[in-house]
Structure 1
Amino acid sequence: MKSASTMEIATLPDEPPNGVTGGLDWARDDHAACVVDTRGREVVRHSVEHSTAGLAELVGVFRQAGCHEVAIERPDGPVVDALLAAGTTVVVINPNRVKNLRSRYGSAGNKDDRFDAFVLADTLRTDRARLRPLTPDGPDTVALRRNCRARKDLVTHRVAVANQLRAHLRGVLPGAVGLFAEIDSPISLTFLTRFTTQDRADWLTPTRLAAWLAKHSYSGRTDPAVLHARLSAAPRGPVGAQADANAAITTALVAVLQTLLTQIKMLSTEIETQLDAHADAHIFTSLPRAGTVRAARLLAEIGDSRARFPTRESLFCLAGAAPSTRQSGKSRVVGFRWACDKQLRDAVTDFANDSRRANPWADDLYQRARARGHDHPHAVRVLARAWLNIIWHCWQTGEAYDPNRHIALQRLLAQAQPEAA
């Protein structure tokens, strides 16, 4: 693998092939295409439907116009796959940037797919020095990214349903809310499957509860007598016909949670299998408290295309770990970077926040940021940027993270030894 110093950075040629550039505004049902010449004049305007025949027609339109470079607003999907398969150079331009670029051509600010296709094509013609061709990740990384994002969405859904179940139980069976550590734990859901109403919960005694827990292999350390005391001390829910009516809601929410937990577990297993087979797995699994899913998310969101992040700063900015600076005259404001890859930022900050529990250097960096007056999210982003510096180096060289070679960590540990003595 090439080192960072010898890594080839993909760039566009000074002049577009055949003197034409293309733009493509994609949509759900159809896509607007445009080709401009070296003077910015529109030479082709075309629309195709989103189908196999339509994508083939789209490739043919660009090929007939001699256009080998196309600008688009998204880096993936069937449209991008079709263009890349045809040997077309794809250049991704952020939608926010396109929105700002519309003012070049008029002040009305109207949104039109055909006009946006022209803006994309003309920007590719005029801003070539600031644009980079898309270097797609490998299919194994793309598949891993999809699974990681799907799992994250399911976890978000699980949390929402668990909150809904908790709010429902506060009115119909309050004793079940704080009975176990988590409302969506397997033992809690099993309990709610059997004891859906206050009437059924009243049947329990300390002895009966102990027998029921033993039957379902309860692994918690709380004594059954304590659990029964919690159940008895809680406010009572409705009984009789009203309780039976509410039981249907409890059963429905429990069933949804059980399904979500099953599917999350299934995706976690698939992610583990894909991560084990990935060439870059050793880099991300070597990070402290990265685990499996967290390491997979980092790998999937950063990707495997080294040319995508030729410098540390490019990774910092896309991950939202670098502040945004605005300066005019004597005014200089450093603020939060809103324009970034939200999925990447979430993966990096999630890892950074947990890493401080296992890495003294990370915890020290976080605590010093808090001491300077930063709030928790800001301090985590400071730590995330420091970790990205390390991750980028390991990623570019193909080496796993080695705490024994982490100079700042070893220096901190060496300082702590005399103090402990």
Structure 2
Amino acid sequence: MTYFVGLDVSSLDIKVYIETEKGDKVKAYPIPNNRPGALKLRDDLVSLAEEQRVDGYKIGLESTSVYSYHPAMFFHTDPELKKIGCSVYMLNPKQVANFKKSYANLDKTDEIDAFVIADFLRFGRSTLSVVKEEQYIALQRLTRSRFLLVQELTREKQHFLQHLNFKFSQFTKDVKTSVFGQAILEFFSDEFSLDDLADISLEKLALYLQEKGNHHFGDPKKVASSIKTAVNNSYRLSRCVEDSVDLLMSTSITLIRTMKAQIKTLEKGIQNLIKSLPIAKRTIDTIPGIGPIFSAGIIAEVGQIDRFQNEAKLAKYAGLYWRKHQSGTFTAEDTKLSRTGNVYLRYYLIEAANHVIRYVPEYRRYYEKKANEVTTHKHKRALVLTARKLVRMVDALLRHHEIYAPSKGMTG
């Protein structure tokens, strides 16, 4: 007989609810969310197994924060619970919340939440166990931190562009070069006023850009000429306002450079870690365009591929599936992408797909076909559909420990 254990986790304590296969309540009580509390529950479960001939436990807790990680790994790796037969499940909070709606007139209490989690398991709603090996967690901490830094960098670049358009209204319209290249960022760091730039000769400005760009500019004189044009076409600010904008731009440049440096540091750490792990055997990073960082992000979120029954389950875990809208004989053609799933895995799969279409003709053709099927959101829709197609290849390579080989279709 299997017992089901629901754990409602907070920073201070864990509410425990234990029930039988028939849904009968066995016990419900709180424990501290620390090692002594976990040991107490472990001992209770061992004693209960001996007294009532329990031949296995399914323990579930929501994957809501760092507070869930330690108890999940404790119960998953405990040798005494392994002897009994214990599986630990990290549950999607949205799925649990939707499941809870099926119960009428339930109060919002900690015991009720633990009960719902136990019942969610009892009805067989989850087949995904906690990540089995800690090296995936170590890799996941790095790849997720990189993901968050990339998001912050994107936001900071948007802030910088807002400041830039305030000070130099025509720059992004008249100057056809990367705003975030080394030379241009150096250029803005020096806080030239528009009147200062108007007084600088074209030759001097071109030489300045060449030096700041470490002589990597293809045609510095052309860029300098476009900057001069933008200066003449731009509105002027009062000195008071321009000084404040210069300060904001300088602060933003410092943040952008710092985040770029930290992203490089994290990427180096990711590459070093994945090389030292048993999972480092090359598989999905052999797909042209993916590379070590995107493959590490995918591997960190997927964990062991045998946690998923098939590629459809993997796609659903990533949130790369579309809800059906059907009533009678009517089936809607325009359906929305699910907003549930692992946002990190979805990000890395979509970014990987964006690179793969540049190198793999089959995926490029598929992307173009999907883009041509609609008139709105062409790129976004086609890219997400291509990422869904990429899931099949990722699943096959990881499941069979193979490398990409175009001569044999998907795998070798």
1:102-113 map, 5 Å: 102-105=100-103, 107-108=104-105, 110-113=107-110
- Are 2:363 and 1:368 equivalent residues in the alignment? no
CA contact (8 A) 1:172 1:246 kept: yes
* 3-state SS of paired residue (1:31): strand
> Normalising by structure 2, what TM-score?
0.83
Which of 202, 213, 223 is the matching residue for 1:206?
202
Which of 77, 93, 96 is the matching residue for 1:98?
96
Which of 162, 167, 171 is the matching residue for 1:167?
162
CA contact (8 A) 1:23 1:121 kept: yes
Equivalence for 1:343 = 344
* Long gaps (5+) in structure 1: 1-14, 410-421
Q: Decide which moves more: 349-358 or 281-290.
A: 349-358
Q: Decide which moves more: 184-193 or 220-229.
A: 220-229
- Are 2:165 and 1:182 equivalent residues in the alignment? no
Residues 400 and 26 from structure 1, CA distance in 2 versus in 1: closer, same or farther, beyond 3 angstroms? Answer: same
**Partner Cα distance (1:58, 1:224) in 2:** 73
Percent identical residues: 20
Residues 193 and 58 from structure 1, CA distance in 2 versus in 1: closer, same or farther, beyond 3 angstroms? Answer: farther
Deviations 1:320-372 (A, max 9, x none): 33433354543444633413333222222222233222111111222223344
- Are 2:184 and 1:195 equivalent residues in the alignment? no
Equivalence for 1:136 = 131
Q: Decide which moves more: 110-119 or 49-58.
A: 49-58
- Are 2:12 and 1:29 equivalent residues in the alignment? yes
* 3-state SS of paired residue (2:283): helix
Which of 377, 381, 392 is the matching residue for 1:389?
392
1:180-329 map, 5 Å: 181-198=177-194, 200-202=196-198, 204-216=200-212, 217-224=214-221, 226-234=223-231, 235-238=234-237, 240-278=239-277, 279-303=279-303, 305-329=304-328
Equivalence for 2:53 = none
**Partner Cα distance (1:349, 1:341) in 2:** 12
**Partner Cα distance (2:39, 2:184) in 1:** 53
**Partner Cα distance (2:36, 2:197) in 1:** 61
* 3-state SS of paired residue (2:17): strand
**Partner Cα distance (2:60, 2:239) in 1:** 65
Q: Decide which moves more: 179-188 or 308-317.
A: 179-188
CA contact (8 A) 2:175 2:230 kept: no
Deviations 1:232-277 (A, max 9, x none): 5331543544433433222221211121111111112212222333
CA contact (8 A) 1:281 1:299 kept: no
**Partner Cα distance (1:275, 1:354) in 2:** 21
Residues 185 and 49 from structure 1, CA distance in 2 versus in 1: closer, same or farther, beyond 3 angstroms? Answer: farther
CA-CA distance at 1:64 after TM superposition: 4.5
**Partner Cα distance (1:273, 1:331) in 2:** 53
* Long gaps (5+) in structure 2: 50-55
CA-CA distance at 1:52 after TM superposition: 4.0
Q: Relative contact order (C-alpha < 8 Å, sep 6+): which is higher?
A: 1
Equivalence for 1:68 = 57
- Are 2:120 and 1:123 equivalent residues in the alignment? yes
* 3-state SS of paired residue (1:68): strand
CA contact (8 A) 1:352 1:383 kept: yes
Q: Decide which moves more: 134-143 or 324-333.
A: 324-333
Letter in 2 for 1:299: I
CA contact (8 A) 2:60 2:117 kept: yes
- Are 2:351 and 1:354 equivalent residues in the alignment? no
Aligned positions, number: 387
**Partner Cα distance (1:293, 1:145) in 2:** 12
**Partner Cα distance (1:24, 1:59) in 2:** 13
* 3-state SS of paired residue (1:33): strand
CA contact (8 A) 1:155 1:264 kept: yes
Residues 44 and 328 from structure 1, CA distance in 2 versus in 1: closer, same or farther, beyond 3 angstroms? Answer: same
